[in-house]
Amino acid sequence: MPSLEILIPAQQIQTRIEAMAAEMDRDYAGEPVYLIGVLKGAFIFMADLARAMKTPTRLEFIGISSYGAGTTSSGEVRVTKDLDVTVEGRHVVLVEDIVDTGLTLAYLMKLVEQRKPATLRVATLLDKPSRRVRPVKVNYTGFQIPDKFVVGYGLDYAEDYRNLRDVCVLEE
Ligand code: 5GP
């Protein structure tokens, strides 16, 4: 049976998100921002981040699916839902649940850069820097975590566990 161990409790996530939102509010100084959430994993983080920000935001989503249902990224990404709007000339923040090898983020940044935003930054709740294969610049990071497979707060294992309030380590 798989077991779950709390890595980051819900309250700690909320406190950190408020600090991230305050930092983003300072950086954007009232200029409107498009937050682009990467489905499905980032939807809960984006909901809390957007509500903690005072900056005027518009909320968009991009849908991707990595091939396979395993616990590692192949870097091969399929776009399942593209942006519905043009972001040309706008400030854009890509909102990710977790950056692991960096392959997914590198792919997404290239995709969004082709849409010619005024600026493009990245906010991620979690980062596993020890696993990086592609160097990617992340502007706002919630927590750096060790090389463990985590679920909860939007993150899944084969579509389960997304609704957990805490970020948990899943052990087989
Ligand atoms: P990367 O391309 O950076 O290796 O992987 C990013 C994607 O892999 C994330 O958006 C997420 O879908 C998945 N991923 C990487 N590490 C984890 C993890 O610990 N837990 C879960 N649930 N997904 C992960």
Query: pLDDT by residue (tens digit) across 7-23?
Result: 999 999 999 999 999 99
**Is 12's C-beta closer than 6 angstroms to any atom of ligand 1?**
no
Please choose from 100, 104, 137 the residue to mutate so as to test ligand 1's pocket, defined by most ligand atoms within 8 A of CB.
100
**Is 13's C-beta closer than 6 angstroms to any atom of ligand 1?**
no
Asked if residue 157 is part of any domain, the answer here is: no
Give the pLDDT band of residue 78 (cuts 50, 70, 90). confident
In eight-state DSSP terms, residue 28 is H
Asked if residue 156 is part of any domain, the answer here is: no
Global pTM?
Answer: 0.94
Asked if residue 27 is part of any domain, the answer here is: yes
Asked if residue 63 is part of any domain, the answer here is: yes
**Cα dihedral value 80, 71, 131, 42, nearest 10:** 40
> For residues 134 and 163, what is the distance between their CA atoms, to the nearest angstrom?
30
Asked if residue 21 is part of any domain, the answer here is: yes
Over the stretch 121-159, which tens digit does the pLDDT of each residue have?
999 999 999 989 999 999 999 999 999 999 999 999 999
Give the pLDDT band of residue 74 (cuts 50, 70, 90). low
Domain span at residue 94? 11-145
Asked if residue 109 is part of any domain, the answer here is: yes
Q: What is the CATH number of the domain that holds 98?
A: 3.40.50.2020
Please choose from 4, 40, 45, 73 the residue to mutate so as to test ligand 1's pocket, defined by most ligand atoms within 8 A of CB.
73
Measured in Å, residue 77 CA sits from the centre of ligand 1 at 12
Tally of structural domains, the chain? 1
Distances (CA, A) of 172 to 1, 5, 20, 153, 156: 7, 11, 32, 19, 14
> For residues 49 and 56, what is the distance between their CA atoms, to the nearest angstrom?
12
Question: Of these residues, 100, 127, 160, 166, which one is catalytic?
Answer: 100
- Given a cut of 90, whether residue 82 has pLDDT beyond it is yes
> For residues 5 and 168, what is the distance between their CA atoms, to the nearest angstrom?
5
What 3-state class would DSSP assign to 43?
Answer: helix
97 is annotated as an active-site residue:
no
Asked if residue 110 is part of any domain, the answer here is: yes
Asked if residue 158 is part of any domain, the answer here is: no
